[in-house]
Structures are given as C-alpha cells and as structure tokens.
Amino acid sequence: MRLTTKGRFAVTAMIDLALRESHGPVTLAGISQRQHISLSYLEQLFGKLRRFDIVESTRGPGGGYTLARRADQVTVADIIIAVDEPLDATQCGGKGNCRGEDAGHGRCMTHDLWTSLNQKMVEYLSSVSLADLVKQQEGRVRVGEIRESKIKIEAPRASKTSAASAKKEVEAKKKPLANSVFTFAQQIN
C-alpha cells in the first residue's frame, strides 16, 4: 500500500494554506508556485476539500481559500478521505473476496493482517492534526533561518582569517631568516 500523489499533494497544499492563512485567503496560484503542484490539479483537490467542509473559498479580488475549521480540528485522515484517497492495504478492498469473485474463493491467509494495518493507518492519520504539521514546518523554517544567518556571519570571519594568514605566509616567504640580532631588528622595523 502506498499513498498516491493525490493524498501527498492534498496534505502538502493544506500545510501551505494553514501556514499562510493568517494573512488572509490564500490563492491556489500561490500554493501552486510554492509547492510545484499543477494549478488545475489543486483546483480539483480543493473542490473536494470544500465539499467536506475542510476549506472555505472567498471569491473576488483578494480571494482564495481559508480553513473552514481550526487547524487542530483537521486531521490528516480527514484530508486523505476528502480527496478520495484509498487507505486500504488489502487486495480485495476490504470485501473479503481476496481470491476472486467466485463463491468458492474466500479470504486470503493475510487478509486479517492487512485489515489490521488499515485500522492502524487510519488511527495514526487521525491522530495527526494539521496544526501538528504546521508546528513541524514552523520549527524547520526557524532552524533553517538560524543556520543561514549563522553561515552568513561565519563566512566573512573565515575569509578574513584565511586572508590574514595567507598574507603572513607570503611575507614570511619574502623575508630571509634572521641570522643575527641586527638583521632581526631590521626585519621588525
């Protein structure tokens, strides 16, 4: 079982929306540019999310999308289910006819294993809220900003130090070694 791009893109777009909605409605064109997701694909996904009352749309200039409920009340499972993403690891779609439609064929030996996995996936995805994912992203952005500013601050220091040491090396190569106190005194002055 693997999550398709539909589910991944929907969750990614919702995180983007939740991160930016405090400044007003978020446009799908903006999400499309930032996340490199096709605008027409986002329109399809957000139509489904709107039908499940996960997002609201605002028309006109300054329009876009906002969350229909608080981010801590929207789970990843809500998003995945809204965009029709199947969360099923069984071969039979949970019907119990793993070996075929014929009456003589029943469930496969691993049917209960995959059914249990389905339940665990839904439980886990239901336990993760959009607010949790936003907090993770905000933490990453702050760490990234700190790293970038640290690199910018340390880089000039490193170049000054290396330039100064390189200059000393060049000067040391030019001057002959002092073989007397008088020659040493002349090199210092």
Question: How much is the pLDDT for 160?
Answer: 52
In this predicted model, what pLDDT tens digit does every residue of 58-98 receive, in sequence order?
A: 998 889 999 999 999 999 999 999 997 777 776 666 666 66
Q: Alpha-carbon dihedral of residues 171, 176, 177, 181, nearest 10 degrees?
A: -110
Low-confidence residues in the chain, pLDDT < 70? 1-2, 90-105, 141-189
The Cα 154–Cα 53 span in angstroms is 48
β-strands 55-58, 64-67: how paired?
antiparallel
**Residue whose pair of structure tokens reads 């090396």 in the numeric block:** 169
Using DSSP's 3-state secondary structure scheme, residue 151 falls into helix
Question: Which residues neighbour 86 within 8 Å (Cβ) at sequence distance 6 or greater?
Answer: 93
DSSP structural state of residue 67: E
Length, in residues, of the chain: 189
**Residue whose pair of structure tokens reads 């340390």 in the numeric block:** 154
Q: If we measure between CA atoms, which residue out of 13, 10, 132 comes closest to residue 78?
A: 10
Tell me the whole-structure pTM to 2 decimals: 0.67
Cα angle for residues 69, 70, 72 (degrees, 5° grid): 125
Other CB atoms within a 10 A radius of the CB of residue 47 amount to: 12
Show the tokens assigned to 42: 């986002």
Show the tokens assigned to 161: 């130090």
